[in-house]
């Protein structure tokens, strides 16, 4: 019986040992077959180190593929303190090359860390500095390639593009709003070291960085370039407090160009104040619109059928009294008897007071709501303002009267151009936008596309057609005449708004603006231009902004390849208007005959002989008198 119990215990012990053996076998098999990679990675993490390689951010391009935000490769300094043999020598040498104190460099060299990125003095090193460090051949001192954002056109589109920080993260504008798409995935060079940080003789592993996605803008570089040039001219000529311009495609809300002054160079954003960096004036600035707002009052009046612009009339005596307050016309003595189309052409304040009071506050302010005033447009940029509109319950006759001609309300430039685009495009209010699509970084294939977004209908197509005609009439026969371009049917409206400070209107301090449409009969672009407190100029927007707008419109016509338009409103000539003449056909005529017919032009000859065999421009072309006509001669 005693031996039986011993045998039973031996069998139990043997059984337990078999179970343990099976468990150990299964566990080892699991580790070898299943958990091997995980444990291997954990082990490698203990003795591997990564030298980082910054990924390129995605490109930002205009609608035609012009690169507006690019990348350049720079060199940065990285230390591995445990590998540095003579820390004192390394600290002294690097501090001299980088022109920092030894104490500052000691903080990096003696730091208790596996890898130390020398920041900021070791980032983005020039080639000569990098070469000096490389020539020292110090253990534990590494130079790694690093991607840095680069803006090839400097200040161009600066507030829209924004800028990136030292670590390649977006800090404003499109760079910030689309940072998750633009940011790439960093790579690394992996090396191996022992517990003391000494580098092991094992092969390094290279992990390539992955570039970010590309952002495709609605911006047209050629139109943007025109805006930048003219804004620079404005600063040089008029020394304004600020200036801005926007160009929009009225048929979908795409922003074709946007800029303002003051601006900045995003390559050197640290040289500018936060105020200058953050204020994107076309969407942030809020001010009284002045006479450009009369477009909205007129559209509402036509839509509500309270006025026929061509048949209804108004007598302007020079001023009108509203609740005991005299509201004057800019023209002393007034314009006398005129149609409401002429009220628009002449920008006659008393006439618009009449329209506003006839509409009444409920109807007029309902159209302000319809056109989006007092709320953000929703453009894809940070920092948009809402403007200020009178609360309806506080609107009396005087507030209604001043609102009708753009005084007492505060709106933003993006609100104005969005609303006027709706006025001229058939009545459709579109949400403005800047980003057209997002593309894969390597192939540039589109992965996300943004389409036009209709907010609401504002006025009827018939009212819109009437307004297009009225705006063309303002340029052909009224205050916008200096924006006139022969054969291209430009529409527009000037604005001169007195500035307010501490509740009082300032003396001789105005914001002058111009809203233009081209071509007026079938709009392809709307331009808004504003100059805040221009100096050394007449205090009328027609003399200040309209000629500048005309130069931008000519560039828009070229960039968008806009064709000449028939049936334009005949221009009313002024004493200082540019006169046009039609180039006659002088081919096969003698030099004497050609000279006689081209008396309106300057003639330039090439070749020899007495007969004209070719001419430029062709016969039938309209040119400003005094322009050059070139003739090729032969016998």
**195 has a pLDDT exceeding 70:** no
Strands 628-634 and 602-607: parallel
Residue with tokens 């105020």: 275
Buried-state track 424-436, b at ≥16 Cβ within 10 A, e below 16:
bbbbbbbbbbbbb
Between CA 212 and CA 217, with CA 213 as vertex, the angle to 5 degrees is 135
**201 has a pLDDT exceeding 90:** no
Distance CA 598, CA 612 (A): 13
* Structure-block tokens of residue 620: 């039938």
Lowest mean per-residue pLDDT among 97-101, 226-230, 246-250: 97-101
- Residues 219-238 have a mean pLDDT of 95
Distance CA 630, CA 196 (A): 83
CATH code at 49-156+185-215: 3.90.1310.10
Residue with tokens 């001043």: 402
* Structure-block tokens of residue 285: 């600035």
Q: What is the pLDDT of residues 262-284, one digit of tens each?
A: 999 999 999 999 999 999 999 99
Lowest mean per-residue pLDDT among 86-90, 191-195, 426-430, 454-458: 191-195
Answer yes or no: are the C-beta atoms of 338 and 351 closer than 8 Å: yes
**13 has a pLDDT exceeding 60:** yes
| Domain 221-559 is found in CATH 3.40.710.10 | yes
Q: What is the pLDDT of residues 18-70, one digit of tens each?
A: 877 777 766 666 666 655 555 555 445 544 556 667 788 999 999 999 999 99
Nearest of 224, 342, 243 to residue 294 by alpha carbon: 342
Greatest Cα pair distance, the chain, in angstroms, is 148
Strands 255-261 and 242-248: antiparallel
Distance CA 496, CA 184 (A): 48
pTM: 0.80
The residues, ordered by sequence, that sit 6+ positions from 354 with a Cβ below 8 Å of its Cβ are: 314, 320
- Domain residue extents for the chain: 2-34, 49-156+185-215, 221-559, 580-634
Phi-psi region of 408 (alpha: psi -120 to 50; beta: other; left: phi over 0): left
DSSP string across 523-590: -SEEEEEEEES-SSS-S-HHHHHHHHHHHHHHHHHHHTTPPP-SSPPPPPP-TTPPPEEEPP--TT-B
- What is the pLDDT at residue 269? 93
* Structure-block tokens of residue 507: 């003396």
% pLDDT > 70, the chain? 90
- Residues 2-24 have a mean pLDDT of 71
124, 125, 127, 128 alpha-carbon torsion, rounded to 10°: 160
**525 has a pLDDT exceeding 90:** yes
Cα→Cα distances 371→63, 280, 367, 385, 635, Å: 27, 22, 6, 16, 66
Phi and psi torsions of 421, nearest 5°: -60, -40
- What is the pLDDT at residue 202? 46
The residues, ordered by sequence, that sit 6+ positions from 147 with a Cβ below 8 Å of its Cβ are: 54, 55, 56, 57, 71, 72, 73, 74, 168, 209
- Residues 625-635 have a mean pLDDT of 88
**171 has a pLDDT exceeding 60:** yes
- What is the pLDDT at residue 292? 93
Lowest mean per-residue pLDDT among 276-285, 294-303, 371-380, 617-626: 617-626
Active site residues: 291
Distance CA 235, CA 516 (A): 21
- What is the pLDDT at residue 94? 86
Q: In whole angstroms, how large is the CA radius of gyration of the chain?
A: 36
DSSP string across 224-275: HHHHHHHHHHHHHHH--SEEEEEEE-TTT-BEEEEEEES---GGGGGGS-HH
Cα→Cα distances 431→162, 253, 422, 530, Å: 21, 6, 10, 21
Cα→Cα distances 177→205, 239, 538, 569, Å: 34, 32, 41, 45
Q: How confident is the model at residue 8 (pLDDT cuts 50, 70, 90)?
A: confident
- What is the pLDDT at residue 77? 85
Q: What is the pLDDT of residues 393-428, one digit of tens each?
A: 999 999 999 999 998 899 999 999 999 999 999 999
CATH class entry, domain 580-634: alpha beta
Residue with tokens 């000691």: 106
Count, in order, helices (H) and strands (E) of the chain. Answer: 20, 26
* Structure-block tokens of residue 135: 């020539």
The strand ranges marked E within 112-186 are: 116-117, 141-150
Q: What is the pLDDT of residues 478-500, one digit of tens each?
A: 888 889 998 899 999 999 888 87
């Amino acid at each position: 019986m005693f031996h039986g119990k011993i045998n039973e215990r031996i069998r139990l012990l043997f059984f337990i040992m078999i179970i343990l053996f099976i468990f150990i076998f299964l566990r080892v098999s699991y580790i070898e077959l299943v958990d091997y990679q995980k444990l291997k990675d954990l082990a490698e993490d203990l003795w591997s180190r990564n030298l980082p390689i910054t990924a390129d951010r995605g490109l930002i391009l205009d609608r035609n593929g012009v690169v507006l935000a690019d990348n350049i490769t720079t060199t940065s300094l990285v230390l591995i303190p445990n590998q540095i043999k003579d820390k004192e020598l390394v600290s002294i040498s690097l501090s001299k090359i980088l022109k920092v104190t030894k104490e500052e460099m000691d903080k990096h060299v003696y730091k208790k860390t596996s890898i130390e990125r020398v920041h900021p003095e070791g980032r983005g090193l020039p080639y000569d500095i990098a070469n000096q460090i490389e020539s020292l051949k110090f253990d534990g001192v590494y130079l790694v390639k690093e991607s840095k954002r680069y803006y090839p056109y400097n200040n161009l589109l600066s507030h829209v593009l924004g800028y990136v920080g030292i670590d390649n993260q977006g800090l404003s504008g499109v760079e910030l709003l689309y940072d998750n798409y633009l940011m790439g995935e960093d790579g690394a060079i992996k090396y191996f070291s022992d517990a003391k940080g000494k580098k092991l003789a094992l092969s390094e592993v290279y992990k390539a960085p992955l570039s970010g996605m590309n952002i495709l803008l609605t911006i047209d570089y050629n139109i943007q370039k025109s805006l930048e040039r003219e804004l620079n001219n404005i600063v040089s000529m008029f020394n304004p407090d600020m200036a801005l311009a926007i160009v929009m495609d009225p048929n979908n809300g795409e922003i074709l160009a946007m800029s303002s002054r003051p601006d900045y160079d995003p390559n050197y954003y640290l040289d500018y104040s936060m105020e200058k960096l953050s204020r994107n004036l076309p969407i942030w600035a809020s001010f009284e619109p002045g006479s450009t707002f009369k477009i909205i009052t007129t559209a509402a009046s036509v839509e509500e059928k309270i006025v026929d612009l061509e048949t209804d009339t108004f007598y302007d005596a020079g001023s009108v009294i509203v609740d005991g307050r005299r509201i004057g016309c800019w023209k002393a003595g007034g314009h006398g008897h005129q149609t409401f189309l002429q009220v628009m052409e002449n920008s006659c304040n008393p006439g618009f007071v009449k329209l506003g009071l006839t509409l009444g506050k409920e109807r007029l302010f309902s159209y302000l709501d319809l056109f989006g005033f007092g709320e953000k447009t929703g453009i894809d940029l940070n920092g948009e303002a809402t403007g200020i509109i009178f609360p309806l319950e506080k609107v009396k006759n005087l507030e209604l009267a001043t609102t009708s001609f753009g005084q007492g309300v505060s709106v933003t430039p993006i609100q104005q151009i969005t609303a006027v685009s709706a006025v001229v495009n058939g009545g459709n209010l579109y949400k403005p936008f800047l980003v057209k699509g997002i593309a894969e970084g390597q192939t540039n294939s589109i992965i996300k596309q943004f389409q036009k977004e209709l907010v609401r209908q504002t006025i009827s197509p018939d009212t819109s057609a009437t307004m297009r005609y009225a705006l063309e009439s303002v340029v052909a026969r009224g205050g916008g005449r200096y924006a006139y371009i022969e054969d291209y049917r430009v529409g527009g409206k000037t604005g001169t708004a007195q500035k307010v400070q501490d509740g009082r209107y300032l003396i001789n301090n105005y914001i002058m603006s111009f809203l233009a449409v081209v071509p007026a009969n079938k709009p392809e672009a709307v331009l808004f231009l504003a100059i805040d407190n221009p100096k050394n100029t007449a205090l009328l927007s027609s003399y200040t902004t309209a000629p500048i707008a005309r130069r931008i419109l000519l560039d828009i016509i070229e960039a968008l390849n806009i064709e000449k338009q028939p049936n334009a409103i005949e221009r009313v000539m002024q004493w200082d208007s540019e006169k046009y003449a039609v180039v006659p056909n002088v081919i096969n005529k003698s030099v004497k005959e050609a000279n006689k017919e081209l008396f309106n032009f300057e003639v330039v000859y090439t070749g020899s002989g007495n007969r004209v065999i070719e001419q430029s421009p062709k016969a039938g072309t309209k040119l400003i008198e005094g322009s050059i006509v070139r003739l090729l001669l032969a016998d």
